[in-house]
Amino acid sequence: MRCLLGYFSHMDTTANRVHDTLSGAVLRILRALARVLIRHGLPFDAFVNLAKRAYVDVALADFALPNRKPSISRVSVLTGLTRKEVQRLADPQPDADREQLARHNRAARVVAGWVRDADFRAGDTPRALTLDGEHGFAELVRRYSGDVPPRAVLDELLRVGTVERFDDGKLKLLSRVYIPRNSDLGKLTILGSDVAWLIETIDHNLSHGDSTPRLQRKVMYDNLPVEALPEFRATATQHAQEVIELLDQWLSRHDRDANPRVRGSGRMRAGVGIFCFEENLSSTAREV
């Protein structure tokens, strides 16, 4: 009996530690997210409703019992929501972000092709392109974005500030990667995709990391002078860009949209994301 009590006490202590650690991690994520939501005017009530919908969506999709259809009652137990709330939230909703994400992916492939395809470069520099003609923008889009109209891709790249159009009609690439410069919508779409993929990778490594780990690395020091940051940003950008372009070339050779000769089963999305972060740990500069 004493052994059993000790066993359950150990289980309770472990569960409490997991709960406390997870709560701390979630709070840190939510603080960063709250900053974005408040800045862009999403009120707390709207966030709560979105959080409830996310709980219901995930419970229905990922936590069903084997060979059994998910039930409202089970989802209610898993999420802590009432059956009435689950029923209200269980109806499928249109994915408003899907079209924007698709535009992002097509535009990113076109920009990558412009950077690495010798037909659209002058040496190591992406050429200014005419809209039509041999090795023009329309050919670039057909080569890297399938049957999407070139005008639609161009409008997107102009809208977000990745491409500039000269008076003579030629098009200049302003960035070697597709990062929306002038578009909050484009940047918010990246928030939804990139953060979600990072969390999914961490969740995968927590659940299956011993057998099929996914790459998850970072390097960080926490006692840097402010004056070191400009050189760090430039160095990180240079080397990260080299890695991204190398991996882009590999992925494009294995992607059926970019390379129709590829054969195989299923349809998977895979990639690598790289970002820099900075945090001010003191209100005044540290004296050397």
Please tell me which residue, 98 or 232, carries the higher pLDDT value: 232
pLDDT digits over 145-168, tens only? Answer: 877 889 989 998 998 888 999 999
Residue 64 lies in a domain: yes
Residue 6 lies in a domain: no
H or E element at residue 82: none
pLDDT exceeds 70 at position 58: yes
CA count, 13 A, side-chain hemisphere, 67: 0
Residue 77 lies in a domain: yes
Quote the tokens at residue 274.
Answer: 């790289």
Q: pLDDT class for 67, splitting at 50, 70, 90?
A: confident
Please tell me which residue, 75 or 257, carries the higher pLDDT value: 75
Quote the tokens at residue 260.
Answer: 């129709």
Quote the tokens at residue 231.
Answer: 């050189």
Residue 199 lies in a domain: no
pLDDT at residue number 170: 94
54 is in which domain, residue-wise? 16-89
Residue 250 lies in a domain: no
pLDDT digits over 4-31, tens only? Answer: 555 455 556 777 888 899 999 999 999 9
Give the range with max mean pLDDT: 67-76, 91-100, 230-239.
230-239
Mean pLDDT along residues 98-104: 67
Residue 59 lies in a domain: yes
Whole-angstrom distance, CA of residue 107 vs CA of residue 241? 17
Domain count, the chain: 1
In whole numbers, what is the pLDDT of the chain averaged over residues?
A: 86
pLDDT digits over 238-250, tens only? Answer: 999 899 989 988 9
The DSSP-derived string for 150-210 is HHHHHHHHHHTTSEEE-TTS-EEE--SS---SS-HHHHHHHHHHHHHHHHHHHHHHHHHTT
Phi-psi region of 267 (alpha: psi -120 to 50; beta: other; left: phi over 0): beta
The reply to whether the predicted model has a pTM over 0.75 is no
Contact call for residues 54 and 195 (beta carbons, < 8 A): no
pLDDT at residue number 287: 43
Please tell me which residue, 68 or 99, carries the higher pLDDT value: 68
Reduced DSSP (H G I as helix, E B as strand, rest coil) percent helix, strand, coil of the chain, to 5: 60, 5, 40
Quote the tokens at residue 280.
Answer: 């001010």
Residue 50 lies in a domain: yes
Please state which of the ranges 130-134, 190-194, 227-231, 268-272 shows the lowest mean pLDDT: 190-194
Chain-centre distance of CA 182, in angstroms?
19
Residue 62 lies in a domain: yes
Contact call for residues 171 and 110 (beta carbons, < 8 A): no
Quote the tokens at residue 286.
Answer: 């540290």
Q: How far apart are the first and last CA of the chain?
A: 60
pLDDT exceeds 90 at position 188: no
